[in-house]
Structures are given as structure tokens and as C-alpha cells.
Chains A and B, each alone.
Chain A
């Protein structure tokens, strides 16, 4: 099919006004199916392109800043697939959650007295807006990942902010407007710092296209400065330590389906940026900075975990957990070895799955119980067994316990870190590796403790009447839970793409014995597969 990627990126955008109209005319159910259909189609496009071994499209754009390209390669495809798959799944999930939220806001605005007809009308009006913004949001994220040009990357990077801002400001919790502004503001600050880095790189290279930059020889001083700027800019998106100011608020306040998209999928794009922009485009700076990424990642992961321990608000806890998980990604990135990098990318996938489940769980609890305060929860496992099961699977995914995909991400990640440590004989790396492993215990602690406080133990008064969520909410969770287990047992679905790509970047000369042996095996294993 022609222009598969172009379609995948722009169909949601072009159809978002249609979604608005459908929502207004035919209500939430129709628009949910509409969104699902659109996103599912686009997911299929992306997945097909990925199965084809990637795709690349180029279109004329600006003379000064290069062309408009879309490329799906081994690095981008896991990100792209997760973005759209999760978006599609969450479109279904949105239905009950957002209906609940609309109704709540309607009551807020009109008191309890509003008539049912008026409420239905209200919900209809809002659902169109919601899905229109939702589609644009998804599209922005995908565009970022597929971009082949610095400026294009930046454009999409910002495009996803705008719908995100509105989604939070319209339907968030708490001081939602202020938080939406905070979100917009801080991520924009990050983005502009990123832009400075882009400009420095692009202008020194004389081109903004990735391909051109990779080929260009740039003054190493500029590269380093630019890489630091890019790292900081992406660090804000990634909510790495010291730049995570906005994240707990935003993820706590965003409407849950959006949190579930923001947290795992969107902030991970920061990591994608680090892969694509720093590791791939600025390898010299990357090798210089990688140790610092490593340490930064470690600090982030421990800090996020420690803060997560202290939270009482369920969604804030998950938000801090996301910070911690982004620390893993950074950690893997800093490992600078093929498997470590592959593991970091796998972590993105796995975090998307796990955190997606957990945020959905939080949404279920918000809808069914009406509180997010962990201290007011407890013993819900008996009342909502499927949710509890999914949540446990999600928690295990985050904690990296086999047979969930979390383990597959983590072992590669940590192994990669160790391999580099061994290779360089660097004590710092050994120590960070060890502490990183210890941090996994921390991760597990806060996750299990959260699960225990929410689902186990004594049930507070008043929760006895809690019911299990409807299938709109359960099915997405179960789908993700199933997928995380499948992926945990058979990770080749993604690793098959990631590892060869990463080894292509790292070059065969720098491999540790473990990786080399592994890859030799992989080559042997892949050869017949390639023939077939």
C-alpha cells in the first residue's frame, strides 16, 4: 500500500473533526467505535509496515529545514506499535470512564437536579470533543516517533502537547487547569531547550535530516553542548530526576485514560528521542555522556521509587513509579551495549503495558469506588477479582517478575549494563549496576505494597457494595495483561526487531563476549527464518 505511514499519521488528524461530529450527533458509543476503528486501522498499518521490515517515506517540505519524512525502522516500530495499540485499546476504555467523568462534571456544574435528557445531551457534546482531541494526541505521538527530521520531530513533539493540555484541562481532577498549564509550560520549556540543541546540531551539520546529520562531521564541542541541551530537553519529557516537576501533578490529575497514555507512552518518547537523537545521531557525545545517563537513570529510578513509597494518592504513586521506570530506560540507554539498549527499548514496551494496566486499574477504582486515596481502600480483591488480577499482573510487569514482559526488559537492560561494566572495567559502572539491581527490589516493594493496600487486607466500611467494572474497562486491561504475559514468554515479537537494529548501531567491534555469542546465535537462528 502506498503511503502507509502517511496514512497512519494523518488519518487520525484528518478524521478528528469527523469524530467531533460523530460524537455530537450520535453519542459516546458511536464515537468510541469510530475512534477504535480509526486507531485500529492505523495500528494495523503500522504493524504491517513493521512486519514488512520497516518503511520509509519522504515528501518535499521546506528548503531551509529539510524534507518531511516518515520512517519506521527497528528502533521506531516498537514505539510506534505501542503508541497506537495502546491508544486504540484505551479508546474503548475511555468510554465508561469518560462518561463517568462527564456526568460528574455535569453534576458539578448543574447540581444534582439536572435532568437525564440534559445529561445525555451534555455527554454527547463532550464525547465528540474528547475523541477529537484524543485522536490528535495519538497522532502527535506517532508523528514524533516516525519523524526523520529534527524540526519535524520537534513539531510533532509539540503537537502532542496541545491536545494533551486540553484533555487535562477539561477533564482532569483537582486543580486541573493549573496543572494543565503546568504540564504545558514545563514540557514546553523542555521542548524549547531541545530546540536549541536541534538548532545547534542542524546548523552545524548544515541539514536537519537525520540521515544528513549522521553523515556530517560536526565540531565535537558543539556536539557535546547540543547533546546536553537535547538530553535536558528530553529529560523534561522523560521526567528524569530534577526535571520531573510536572509529572506527578499531571499524571495524578489527568483523566485516567489520558494518564494511561501520558505516563507510559508519551513520556517514553523522551527515551525514544535519546535513542534517536543522541545515541544515533551524536555517537561521539553519546559515548562521552553515557556514564552520566547511567548514573542519572539510577538516581531517577531510586528517587522515583522512594517517592512512590510515600504516596497516598493512587495515581500519584503510579506517576512516581513512571518516573522510576523512566530511570530504567535512561539506565539502559547509558549502558551503551547492544543488549542494554535493546533492554531499554523493551522496557518502554513493557512499561507501556504494565503502567497502562495499572492506570486503568486506578480508573476502575475511581469509577467504582470514587476515591483515589489508598488509605481509604483495601480488600477489594474479592469485590473486583478481574481488576485485581490484572493489577497484579501489571504490578509484576513493572516489578520485572517473569513471566511478564517486564522481566524481559529488565534482564536485558541489566545485563547490558553489566557487560559494559565488565568491558570497561569501570568501578562506577559496577556500582551502578549493583545499585540498579537493588532498585528493582525497591520497585517491587512499592508495587506490592500498593497492591496490598488497595486489594488486600481489611475492607473499609462502605466499600462492601463495590462492583466489578464493566467489560469496556475490563477487556482493555485483560488484553494488555494477556499481552504482557505473552511477551514475557515470547519476547521475540519485539526483540526480533530491536536487537538487530541496536547491534547495527553499536557496530560489531564493540561487543562483549556475551552479546557477541548471543548475536551469533541470533544470526544463526534468524537465517532460516529469513529464508522462510
Chain B
């Protein structure tokens, strides 16, 4: 058995080492451009995925693998892998989706001259992501955390030449004087720096905990709660946790650090699918999933971290609504999906937050994680499909599409499947079940904030259904746009994407539906798994009776009627409105907005991203630069440079001229000074 465990530990190490190794071999493959790097990437991703899968049986049985090795011995830190059920499931999600996206990217990126760089960063990303998932301590996790950030930076700015077609936003449009039009390199930088703000908070939180606990390890933090008591006594426990959550805010693009995600869409679409939809942005959620139980388990010692969970819940709720609302009006398909991503992650945060506020921690926890999994699948699928559309149409604007359903039937079908999951179409999509679980856990949490958050969740669901329908309608229905007609007249007819591209998102769409069909059972087994996990590892006992876990899904038996009703209603209203505007085209949306100053104003606000982006630019880019320029001009240049260099030079020169002026060359004056000096010295001595 020990040997077996050793093998599993090795597998856990290799899950993240293999992609890194694959990344490092990439530069060596430069000589064989073309397909070889792609195959190598697929091999690496597949190996990683298989290794991850090998961990799955043990994890599903509730086991965990924990292995450590010496690292920074001088500070007594060790590196390690922790493959508990949470990590293993996450790891598998990451690994398999990455594999699919890598396959997709071999088609999507075909012929790119910088393909080696692309694969390097993709594999680097996968490795870093797995490192986050499998680390057994915060510091090591932070390596992965920054690694994914780095990969994200590099890949957002992948097309570093800043060509016009690689920008996002509408050229020339300004919001509060800030250009709403971003080049890839700018976007990469923005993403990196904004997430860095989160990372800085996370570091601060980590350090606070380390200062009291003397460890970064997740396991060690659970065992002994003396550190938490000490911190609680100083009132530092909640701040530390909130600071840690700051990292999650940054990485998962939650309010108020949400703005980078939209510009991240300048990267190749495969990247958007992988990093900015399926995996990296989930890292924040994963972090909360890692920390949530630790914080909640402290409740047993009487250290309630309620405020932390409140912050999580509210940040999630606000983000969900804020981003979803903007998704209703944006004309760019990838940006709509990006808004949707942020919004959906808000749901997950909301779930984890209310989980901590309720007795039923497991419910919210499971709901959030379930949503994470389902969202990873359908959003990756949607992004890849969007990539195909971009690929074919050559424009990121939905207004340049239209009427494509006849030309791209497979894509059309898969987008509907994944889109329905996003909308939460009842009973057959994963999205429905996971969202419903969130609704239910929010509703049942019993927190004082339950109702407002629930209301926000429902409104957001309506909006989600609406913008998804809008997207499908604008892309596939209606008349062909001028752009498409122009393309056709030039002989570039609209056609289906190549095999390597549509298969991955087809698979994901299919899996979405497949799991959706038996969604409740899936949820129950997840619930069971996490229930056991939380009980065993953290001692969190949930008062649900064990008897409530039937082997087979008794349809709707475990569902909350209010939540279910709200969910259904939201779906209906949203899709109905969307259908009316964009599929059936009974009402012209432009005229509708123009009809009423309130609508006009709202439209403007939404399109201007609630002015948050512009405000951030004003406060954190323009003003500091302005300040720095002022200091540079009026302090550095004048006081320091001129004052100390030139000023000293001048002062000395002036003094020299004075002294030299006294040296007239005339002996009498010299002698006069001599005499006066003599007198002076005499008097000085006598005084």
C-alpha cells in the first residue's frame, strides 16, 4: 500500500511537472515549426490529464495524497503536493478541459509564426494551474498563482504587434475621456497589474497568517487553531482572510478588480477559453474553496469568520449583477462571453459565501463547486465556438455576423447546447442544476443577507438568459450583415470550422448536456463526496441526514421549490425577452433604447461599463502619472537636479568669484587685509 501511495504521490507531482517540462522543450522544437510543437503540447496535456485521472479513484473514495519535500530549508519551508478530493476534481477539470482546448488550438493557431511561444506559454499555464491546485501550502501555491498570471500576461499580449484587428473595444469611443479601445500588449499589462493588486493583498494575508501560525501549509493550518485565536484576539483574523480573498478577487476578476478580464479578450480565443473562462479565473474560486473550510472550521473553536463570508458573498453577488448587466449591451461576442464569465464566477463566490454563513456549509460548497465544473465546460465550449466564428467571419463584432445558422450548423447546435446551459435551461443542462443549487443554498442559508442576495441572483439569471439569447440571435439569426455579404462577394464564403476545432467544443457541449440530464445525481454524489471530505479533513459536520442521499435521482426530491420556481421563471423571462428582441426580431432594440431617455441613459451607462473602468483609469493611472510627472518636473528636476547639482555648482562658483574678486592683484589691498587680519586675530585672542 505504501508503495502504491508513493506512486500516487509521484503522479501528483508529475501532474504539474509534466506540463512544465513540455513547456521547456518547446524552444527546442523551434526548428520543426508546423505541427510538431502542437503534437508535443497535446502529448504533454494528455499525459498530465491521464496522471490527474489516475488520482481520481482514490480521491472519489475520499482518500488523499500528501507528499512533501525540502524546499527553502533556510526558512524551514517545504514544498508539497496535496491531492485531496477537492484538488483532484479540480485538477481533472483543468487537465481535461486543457487537453480539449489544446487540441482546438492546434487548429485555431495553425500557421502562426510564433506558435512555439504560444505552446510554451500554454503549457506553462497548465503547469502553473495544476501547481495552484495541487500545492499543499500557500507560498508554493503563490508560485502557480503568479505563474498563471504570467502566462495570462504573455498570452493576452500574444499578438504583441498591436495590429488593429487584435484590439478590443470600439475604436475612437471614449468613456469619461478614457479611450475604450485596447491593444493586446496594453491589455496584458493591465491584466497583470490589476491581478497583481489582488496578489499583493493575498501576500499580505499570507504573511499575516504566517506571522501567527508559522506555516503556510493548508493541513497545518487546520490542525492547530492557536494561531487563529491569537489573530482573533488582535482582530486580525478576518482582515487576513479578506486580504487572502483579495487575491481571489483579482484572479477571478471580481468587483472591484473585474475590469481586466474584458481586455483579456485580446488574446487568441483558445487562450480566452482556457485561461479566461475555464481555468485561471477559477483559481480564485478554488482558493476560496481551499480556505473556506478552514475559516468555517474555526467556528468550532468559537472564532466566527462571518464577516469574511459576508464579504465573499456580497462581492460575488455584486459582480454577478454588474457584469451580467453589461453583457446585455456589448456588441463584441468575446466580451459578452467575458462579462458572462465574470458574472458566473460571481455566482460561485456567492455560493461559497453563503455557505459559510449557513449551517449547511456543504450545500453551498457543493453548489459553488458544481457550478464551477459546469461553467468550465459550457463556457469553454462557448468560447471555442466564438473562436470559430471569429475565425470564419474575421470580426469580433456580433453586428458583423448574423444569419450564420445555415452555414455553420454544427457550431450553431453546439452554441445552443452550451448557451442553454449558461441560461440554465431546465432539467437537461448542467447549468440549470448548478445554478439551482446555488439558488437553493442562498435561499436556505438563513443568513440575514439571504434575501437580497437571492434577489440579485434571480435578476442576474434573467439577464443571463437574455444576453445569451441576444448573442445567439445576433449571430445566427436575422439577415446577414454587410460584412458577411462583403466576404461572400469576395469569395470567402462562410463555412464550418475545421474538424480539430469543432470537435472539442462539440464534445464539451455534449458532455454538458449529458451531465445535465443526470444532473441531480451528479450533484448528489458531489455533495456526498464533499460532505465526507469536509467532515474528515476539517471536521465540518453538516446536519443533513445521511439518509437523504438516494442512490438514484428521485427527480426534484431534494430541490427547494422557491429556488426552483425562481430559476424557471428567470429562464423563461430572460429567454422570452431575448427572443422577442433578437431572434423573432419583433422589436428593434435600437429603437427601443432610443425611445426613452431612461433607457438611453441606462444603455449608455452599461455600455460605458458603469464608468468603473474609466474611474479606475482616472484614479490609478492618469492621476498617479500626472502626480509623478509633477514631482518629476517640479521636484526631481528642480530641487534635486538643479538644486543640488547646478545649485551647488552655482553657489560654489559664486563664492569662488567673491573670494577671487577680493584677490585684486594689488599689493596694498593685500597688506591692508593683512593688517586688519592681524588686528582681528589679536582682538580675537584677547576677547
Contacts and interface: CB of A to CB of B under 8 A. Distances in A.
Whether chain A touches chain B in the assembled complex (some CB pair under 8 Å): yes
Interface of A: 182, 242, 244-246, 249, 303, 306-307, 309-310, 339, 342, 379, 381-382, 396, 401-403, 407-408, 411-412, 414-415, 418-419, 422, 433-434, 437-438, 440-441, 444-445, 448-449, 452, 455-459, 490-492, 495-496, 498-500, 512-526, 529
Contacts of A401: 146, 149-150
Contacts of A491: 72, 74
Nearest to A517: B214
B196 interface: yes
Given A309-B625, A415-B210, A415-B211, A492 B193 contact: no
Contact of A310 (B213, B214, B629): B629
Q: Which 4 A-B pairs have the closest CB atoms?
A: A521-B76, A517-B214, A495-B74, A525-B73
Contact of B211 (A309, A440, A513): A513
Given A245-B644, A422-B211, A513-B212, A457 B628 contact: no
Nearest to A433: B204
Contacts of A415: 207, 210-211
A524 B77 CA distance: 11
Contact of B641 (A245, A407, A419): A245
B184 to A, nearest CB: 8
B76 A458 contact: no
A379 B157 CA distance: 12
A449 B624 contact: no
B625 A402 contact: no
B631 interface: yes
A492 B629 contact: no
A422 B211 CA distance: 8
Interface in B46-95: 70-78
A522 B632 contact: no
B644 A456 contact: no
Contact of B143 (A403, A456, A492): A403
Contacts of B183: 457
A445 B195 CA distance: 12
A419 B211 contact: yes
B193 A444 contact: yes
A244 B632 CA distance: 13
B161 interface: yes
Contacts of A458: 161-162
Given A452-B185, A457-B185, A514-B212, A414 B628 contact: no
A290 to B, nearest CB: 18
Interface string B188-228: 11001100110011011001101111110000000000010
A500 B186 CA distance: 43
Contacts of B236: 422
Interface in B142-177: 142-143, 146-147, 149-150, 153, 157, 160-162
Nearest to A449: B189
B536 interface: no
B214 A456 contact: no
Nearest to A524: B76
Given A306-B631, A382-B114, 19 more contacts: A245-B640, A245-B644, A303-B631, A306-B627, A310-B628, A379-B160, A382-B161, A402-B142, A402-B146, A411-B139, A419-B207, A448-B189, A452-B157, A452-B188, A513-B211, A513-B230, A518-B214, A525-B76, A526-B73
B682 to A, nearest CB: 33
A363 B369 CA distance: 51
Nearest to A385: B117
Given A415-B210, A513-B211, A513-B214, A444 B192 contact: yes
B669 interface: no
A423 to B, nearest CB: 8
Contacts of B71: 490, 492
Interface in B592-648: 624-625, 627-629, 631-632, 636, 640-641, 644-645
Contacts of B196: 440-441, 444
Contacts of A444: 192-193, 196
Given A415-B207, A419-B211, A499 B146 contact: no
B628 A307 contact: yes
A309 B626 CA distance: 10
A522 B75 contact: yes
B214 A516 contact: yes
Nearest to A512: B211
B29 to A, nearest CB: 15
A342 B73 CA distance: 13
B75, B201, B211, B628 — most chain A CB neighbours (10 Å): B75
B479 to A, nearest CB: 37
Question: Which of B147, B212, B227, B628 has the most A CB atoms < 10 Å from its CB?
Answer: B628
Given A306-B628, A411-B203, A499 B214 contact: no
Nearest to B627: A306
Contact of A448 (B76, B192, B632, B641): B192
B204 A434 contact: yes
Contacts of A182: 645
A419 B230 CA distance: 14
Interface in B117-143: 139, 142-143
Contacts of B625: 309
A448 B193 contact: yes
Interface centre among B207, B213, B214, B625 (most CB of A within 10 A): B207
Nearest to A523: B76
B197 A441 contact: yes
A6 to B, nearest CB: 29
B501 to A, nearest CB: 26
A182 B647 CA distance: 13
Contact of A492 (B74, B161, B189): B74
Given A310-B629, A456-B185, A414 B160 contact: no
A307 B631 contact: yes
